[in-house]
Amino acid sequence: MHVDSLPEALQPATRAEGYEIQSILQSRSAAPLFGWKLAATSRAGQQHIGVDGPIVGRILAEQAIANGGTYSALEHNLMRVAELEFAFRFAADIAPKQWGLEEALAQIGSLHPAIEIPDSRYNRYELAGEAQLIADNACAHYFVLGESAPDDWRTLDLTEHQPWGCIDGKRFRQGIGRNVLGDPRAALLWFLNEAWRFRMTIRAGEIVTTGTCLEPMPISHGIMVSGDFGTLGSVAVRIE
């Protein structure tokens, strides 16, 4: 179901109120939270949806697709795009505190290539505004997590890493790590401090996917979308 906006009496007025509404989605899930997503970590993304910086959403376990699996909800998806992302998995529960980069990276057990298939409940999501977009779970929809990258990912310059988005095995569009807040690791740090400010509980095993590193790729029925992250591995999903 898509709407133009929330009823006026129910519209969140602040970022904090948006996150409070969003948290209700998590309470309705039958399984532990799969992880977190960042939206608008690129300047182009921020301009497109009219926000000044990133926002956070929750990835429910019901919305996680196995690597190489099938996405079958395209008929009801208004956005109809796929995004390639760098995702980090937490090795331990995260303490509620302000974080620095090195200690933030020390909390990470693995890095993964990922695909997000976003969507919104708003007919014109680009006009909804920050608080309503947060209440809409930051356009979280479905998500595909690839296998963990080799451990030497920590020695790589992720700002210059250039994944290829592919359709039916053919290269379609190239991204670069610096599209993600300048560095996917900077996006990780931003998330941890946003979680601290807004009292989000992060558990061991959850992931955070840091936002698209390329211009979103259009998707249609019957195609295979994949991300070639080079030495970091690959990830794929079939659109049915």
- Helix, strand, coil share (%) of the chain residues, nearest 5: 30, 30, 40
Tell which residue, 123, 117, 194, 188, has the closest CA to residue 153. Answer: 188
Cα(first)–Cα(last) distance of the chain, in Å? 20
Look up the pTM and report it: 0.96
User: Using the 8-state DSSP alphabet, how is residue 95 labeled?
Assistant: P
Over the chain (240 residues), the average pLDDT of each successive run of 10 is 86 96 92 97 90 96 98 96 98 97 98 98 92 96 98 97 98 98 98 98 98 98 98 98
What lies within 8 Å, CB to CB, of 142 at 6+ separation is 63, 64, 65, 71, 73, 116, 117
Which domains does the chain possess?
Answer: 8-239 (3.90.850.10)
pLDDT, position 43:
87
Residues in the chain, total: 240
